[in-house]
Structure 1
């Protein structure tokens, strides 16, 4: 006899991500009725998601912005796991933490709302940042802490406990794609310190900051 819960869950994740795979497996191990979709850059949200009706939506590193009607289709709750502390809503969260030389960072679980990263916060998992951190190391540690936060929060759903209510709040509006694109630009009139901060904050594999000289953009090699 299965001990799985009968609640229906819509799980939304990110393709080719081992942490999403682990989170989905945990949900499938504990709920009978799980529908899952993985998002990809540049690919629209499947139309089937708009017609889903059920108990819970769990969004984990998903790239799609859900319509309000879809969020409201979850009768018991729609929660999102954001790879940043409440100081960094929106896009480029870890990049801005590096740019700011923040002393700590984290992961946030919150109720979903019509505006991204604005719903009431459920729980936050924080950890220290180090001077040696770059985009890669900070992302890796963030994903590990976020998975622990995921287990803690979803375990409460499994046990029938109410979700906690964090006293923390989002400290600023979500950052936009335009703001992040501007962070990736360095120019000759910037100080050495400013250039170093931007390079540290935005260098990640094939993604590198660009140099603006007289309106012409050049990729910076570091």
Structure 2
């Protein structure tokens, strides 16, 4: 059985998954999506695994997959699409997780096969800690799922459902913008939800100028 793994190799956890597949001596081919603008393949594979990959996988790729194409989304069914971590922190959630679903024509829309959840403390978790915990969670989920594929265990359909349409980049940009009349509490909540390493955080537009927050 041949497996196609598409992942963003900039993430440490993606490198760990590749090493795991090598140790297990699974027959797989890896595409680093961080170095691609579009996913293209010429060979056929039995399964496709999209792991922390943000590039769209179109029909021309999926039609070369003999059995199924799965996406591993770093968020539970309540947070599909772009900025899943950020929106969860804005909502002050006390649990989070990762989702495996079948890939179709839309982002984070296909039938859900598995959800692996974990509890968090909003007071103790910032964006960096939530991402780290999610990556640990989704790696364990991926290892077990792929092992079961290679053992040819039947994939049981689950009763999970997406609860909303996938968040878009536009919605993400709107959410991280600060308004002049925002309260201190709201600004602090947005700082927590959108501040991560050297990525752009919150910002405010004022008289034609954009002012961005830096840690």
TM-score range relative to shorter protein? over 0.9
Query: Separation in 2 of the partners of 1:161 and 1:9?
Result: 15
Superposition deviation, residue 30 in structure 1: 4.3
Q: What SS is found at the alignment partner of 1:127? A: strand
The CA RMSD over aligned residues, in Å, is 1.7
Q: How does 1:1-222 map to 2 (within 5 A)?
A: 7-30=1-24, 33-40=27-34, 43-47=36-40, 49=41, 51-130=42-121, 131-207=123-199, 208-222=201-215
Answer yes or no: is the 8 Å Cα contact 2:39–2:61 preserved in 1: no
Distance of aligned partners of 1:76 and 1:28 in 2 relative to their CA distance in 1, 3 Å threshold: farther
**TM-score using structure 1 length:** 0.89
Answer yes or no: is the 8 Å Cα contact 1:52–1:70 preserved in 2: no
Distance of aligned partners of 1:29 and 1:121 in 2 relative to their CA distance in 1, 3 Å threshold: same
Q: What SS is found at the alignment partner of 1:125? A: strand
Answer yes or no: is the 8 Å Cα contact 1:8–1:31 preserved in 2: no
Bigger Cα displacement from structure 2, 109-118 vs 24-33: 24-33
Query: Separation in 2 of the partners of 1:139 and 1:175?
Result: 17
- Counterpart residue number, 1:3: none
Answer yes or no: is the 8 Å Cα contact 1:209–1:219 preserved in 2: yes
Higher normalized strand content (fraction of residues):
1
- Which residues of structure 1 form unaligned runs of 5+? 1-6
Q: What SS is found at the alignment partner of 2:2? A: strand
Query: Separation in 1 of the partners of 2:22 and 2:48?
Result: 13
Q: What SS is found at the alignment partner of 1:88? A: coil
Answer yes or no: is the 8 Å Cα contact 1:30–1:158 preserved in 2: no
Superposition deviation, residue 143 in structure 1: 0.3
Answer yes or no: is the 8 Å Cα contact 1:105–1:128 preserved in 2: yes
Query: Separation in 1 of the partners of 2:149 and 2:23?
Result: 13
Query: Separation in 2 of the partners of 1:52 and 1:116?
Result: 24
